[in-house]
Amino acid sequence: MAGRMNDSSSAGPSAQSVEDMLRDELAQGDVILSTARPILRHLLANDNHALFSDEVIARIRGMMVHLARQMLFELAAELGIDDRGAFVAEREEALATSLLEDAAFLGHAHALTIEAQMAERLSARSGIDPVLSPLMQELAASDDEGLAQAAMRIIAAQARYMQKVRRMELPLEELPAELFHAATAALKRSQDDLGSEAMAVCDRLRENHDEGERRIGQMMRLVMAMKPDASRALSVDHAGLSLFSTALAMACEQERDAVILSLGENQCARLAISLRAAGLEQSAVEQQFLYLHPEISLPEGFSSLGADRAAELLSAAASGTAH
């Protein structure tokens, strides 16, 4: 909760009390995350959700419809249908509903939406460009031709991502492998009358899917290519939110979607622990909070939490919330 992390006793907290407080806040944050997907599923499945028609709900619904339409247009092409728009319009709702019922799809779309929102907020509040951060500018101008080309591809991919989220779109090729296979499986299930054609479409889509070419895959390769300089990506004002989130997920060995959600409200303990697990000293963690949560102060005694212990807390939390 906002404001809670700066609570401290007048006598000064012990290392154990700081750890206990962070563990409690982490557990409370995990409860919020674990209930988010069922709530999203309920809201998105309810046609009459005027009370909840906020940007996040609208974007997630739009993303699922867009996924459905992409696959159905492929199916229409396989069938050689002339009026493909009518074919897709007739079937998109059923397929989109199937995707909306999948908590994994909702979680991923939720993270993508929050990522774009946070990037736009940082741009408005602190002038941090969502696409062309100082670090990306430096890398694109690098004397290392491979590094420069990789940076340019990521800049283009990031620009497309921001545009797609605004349009409530989620390209099939940007799905991680497990969700890509789940999407094609949903297509087959929803098209019982066109089983063989749907199978042919799924096989073709799977053959052409290259997870490494996803925006996130490209960012991960760039962070690894930076080698000793990879720590520079752990500064949100220098790297930009998306590359920062990717580097943080890699450094603290957490799922990127979970790291993205830790940037939001009520997840400050998880963010602080993740940054510490990634090896950042207290001053560097405080610097990131100035940009991400300027109203929050780290608890007194936070410096007593070692990076290894922070990683253990994250691992224990992940084990406790695994389904």
pTM over 0.95: no
Residue 48 has pLDDT above 50, yes or no: no
Cβ atoms 206, 181 nearer than 8 A: yes
At 216, the pLDDT band (50, 70, 90 cuts) reads very high
Residues in the chain: 323
The pLDDT of residue 153 is 97
147-180 pLDDT tens trace: 999 999 999 999 999 999 999 999 999 999 999 9
Distance between CA atoms of residues 224 and 192, nearest Å: 44
Least confident of 50-54, 62-66, 140-144, 311-315: 50-54
115-144 pLDDT tens trace: 999 999 999 999 999 999 999 999 999 999
At 29, the pLDDT band (50, 70, 90 cuts) reads low
Structure tokens at 215: 């925006």
HSE-CB for 163 with a 13 A CA cutoff? 7
250-307 pLDDT tens trace: 999 999 999 998 887 778 889 999 999 999 999 999 999 999 999 888 888 888 999 9
At 31, the pLDDT band (50, 70, 90 cuts) reads low
Summary mean pLDDT of the chain: 86
To which residue do tokens 């925006």 refer?
215
Domain map (residue ranges) of the chain: 16-321
